[in-house]
Structure 1
């Protein structure tokens, strides 16, 4: 498949690109800062599109010809940040996907994003409370992005996780929905990336927001 990855140079995004390449997909990487692009990507024939996420023309260039889109975008945690650029950018992505007939979207989120299959747990409520109190702008941006995706009419999946950490993959031992599948807190970025990349061709969680943990 031809897969376009937004947030491709982030901590999780780079790992997602590697996982997709390992699975045999062709990748278009969308990056705001070309200085963060790994040199190995040129050897692996990764197509690069550079632009701000709010640049509708650059987003159009990246999505055209794709079979699926993966977003590893996450809100800035800088308290001085202003506006909701990822909400605008996600709207551009979804609108462009519709125009080009690209139906498969896979993104990332936190337990603050609620799936209709959840039975809210203490962890889910705590993450939402802390988000609203400590990082309200990022919290609004995250929910705004997710709402656009979940009401898009596309074949979407949002992979939710609580406490990403570095380190080797350990395997996703818990997956599903809060209140029924005993989702834990910690998960490695390597496992997030592997699970996210796998959803491109896995229909099990279409129109769902599975939560994962180690």
Structure 2
């Protein structure tokens, strides 16, 4: 299977690429700075590298990019700098999600394409009755005003939920919601839930980036796992003994 990964040079995206290669998929990545990537990627026959900024691609280039892919995974995010948080593009994740989905639909492919979006537990799944405290609602409201990346993540997931929906013949999707991300070297036990089991603001859990990558790769690779979570927004935590 050929998988396109955008945001591949990021901390989680790079782990996802490694997991997909371990599963013997062919991986296509779009990166702005290839010199920062591992040397092993540059010499891997199963990895195709496109040097570009994803939003700078034309519609035709975007269609060509996804035309031979059975799955697309987005690990896009904003750099934690002043420019990354408050500069342009403010809707990096949402705009890339929309344009990639439009490209997939425009190609009229014979197969359905999987779309896996890395999102956040700070974003509620409005298809479910996910109640949060008044205090958390206030904090989330402030985040929408003060931190543009938060609303960007919300809009990306909302596009999949409301515009692609559950019955799209071209695209099936999953939005993975990790809690507090940490760095670990190896995959460990983790748990998946339909909704958060703790407050993302006042009682956040943790999950390693490599575990998130492992779950995203498993969704793409495992038909039964995909069937369980397609059209949903699963939440991932490290196993309770590690939280």
Q: Does 1:155 align with 2:172?
A: yes
- Aligned-pair CA distance for 1:121: 4.0
Pairing 1:193-208 to 2, within 5 Å after superposition: 193-201=213-221, 202-208=226-232
165, 185, 201: which one pairs with 2:205?
A: 185
- Aligned-pair CA distance for 1:180: 6.1
3-state SS in 1 of match to 2:95: helix
Q: TM-score, normalised by structure 2?
A: 0.77
Gaps of 5+ in 2: 239-243
- Aligned-pair CA distance for 1:89: 2.1
Pair member with larger Rg: 2
CA contact (8 A) 2:181 2:209 kept: yes
3-state SS in 2 of match to 1:14: helix
1:179–1:158 Cα change, 3 Å: closer
CA contact (8 A) 2:190 2:237 kept: yes
CA contact (8 A) 1:111 1:211 kept: yes
- Aligned-pair CA distance for 1:40: 0.6
- Cα distance in 1 between the residues matched to 2:49 and 2:227: 27
Residue 32 of structure 2 corresponds to which residue in structure 1?
32
Gaps of 5+ in 1: none
Residue 69 of structure 1 corresponds to which residue in structure 2?
72
- Aligned-pair CA distance for 1:148: 2.0
Pairing 1:1-214 to 2, within 5 Å after superposition: 1-45=1-45, 46-57=47-58, 58-80=61-83, 81-82=87-88, 83-100=90-107, 101=109, 102-115=112-125, 116-122=127-133, 125=136, 128-129=140-141, 131-132=143-144, 134-135=146-147, 137-150=148-161, 151-152=163-164, 153=168, 154-169=171-186, 171-178=188-195, 185-201=205-221, 202-214=226-238
- Aligned-pair CA distance for 1:134: 4.2
1:121–1:65 Cα change, 3 Å: same
The count of corresponding residues between Structure 1 and Structure 2 is 213
1:44–1:114 Cα change, 3 Å: same
My pick for the range that moved more, 84-93 or 159-168, is 84-93
- Cα distance in 1 between the residues matched to 2:235 and 2:142: 18
CA RMSD of aligned residues (A): 2.6
- Aligned-pair CA distance for 1:86: 3.0
- Aligned-pair CA distance for 1:42: 2.5
CA contact (8 A) 1:53 1:86 kept: no
- Cα distance in 1 between the residues matched to 2:210 and 2:43: 22
- Cα distance in 1 between the residues matched to 2:229 and 2:63: 26
CA contact (8 A) 2:124 2:130 kept: no
